[in-house]
Amino acid sequence: RVLLSADSGRAAMTETTVYPGGGLVHIKNPHLESMEEDILHHLDLGTKTHNLPAVFGDIKFVCVGGSPNRMRAFAQFMHKQLGLAGDGEDLADICAGMDRYAMYRAGPVLSISHGMGIPSISIMLHELIKLLHHAKCRDVTIIRIGTSGGLGKIKLGTVVITDTAVDSSFKPRFEQVVLDDVVVQSTELDKDLAKELLACSKEISDFPALISHTMCAYDFYEGKTTFGRLDGYLKRAYNAGVRNIEMESTAFAALCGLCGLKGECFCILPCIHSLTQPEGLVWCEIQTTQEPKPHS
């Protein structure tokens, strides 16, 4: 983690991410433990109102995605896959007291929506990471599942597994202004986890997948207008190793790395963008006559 001085633009401080022992989630805020109460406002949870270790202490996997309905469907899917009692149709939204995010649980799996874009996922992740910390969860794996736009000659419906998230300049970094400092963080994700996910995809028929860089845009209408550019930008992105573009991966990767979480992005491609043709946007239906990918 690097802090850049707002006045000079020079690196003012460099921090090396410290990964915690024992698999616990590491929080870099030294004042957190001295707080009488920590209210996770947007999740409708708190250290005084809920026994977080009792409720969440055995969570091992967290899957996050943009849509509340999609994450509810994913939790129901996991409920059935894990052979849990009941049909899973009546899963309760743990965050029902607020209307920002939705959270569901299926055994050791937590399924949470994050909305669209870096600001929305960043708010959720800050509170989620504190939740995992307060609950004393160990060895947690967190995966972002969602959709993204593909680049180049890739089969429609392919799943892109991110090894490194890059910004619109194709650099592996997440820049954020904190007060009057520009904070720059690494955006590399867990490469071993990426390989594990790729190996799993090969065990499922008709499940095309690949590992590549993912580019993160800052918004949908202007940040992703890159898809309409024919000045060579998309070719440069492709040559830099980018195979898909979305709007959350750099913030996700940075926060996972900062807190020692084993994280990965796992995005299906409902559309592919031509590198040379303005009308080269091709869409596919994720769920057609066959079963959706677990979980598309």
Pinpoint the alpha helices (H) of the chain: 52-56, 68-81, 118-134, 191-201, 233-239, 249-259
Q: How far apart are CA 261 and CA 257, in angstroms?
A: 6
pLDDT average, residue stretch 34-62: 96
Q: Residue 272's pLDDT is what?
A: 74
Q: How far apart are CA 117 and CA 219, in angstroms?
A: 6
274 — pLDDT class (breaks 50, 70, 90) = low
Q: How far apart are CA 251 and CA 255, in angstroms?
A: 6
29 — pLDDT class (breaks 50, 70, 90) = confident
pLDDT average, residue stretch 244-258: 96
Query: What pLDDT digit, counting tens, does each position of 84-114 carry?
Result: 998 888 899 999 999 899 999 999 999 999 9
Specify the pTM.
0.86
Q: Residue 287's pLDDT is what?
A: 43
Checking if the pLDDT of 286 tops 70, the result is no
Q: How far is CA 28 from CA 5, 15, 151, 253, 264, in A?
A: 20, 11, 37, 16, 21
Other C-beta atoms closer than 10 Å to the C-beta of 232 total: 11
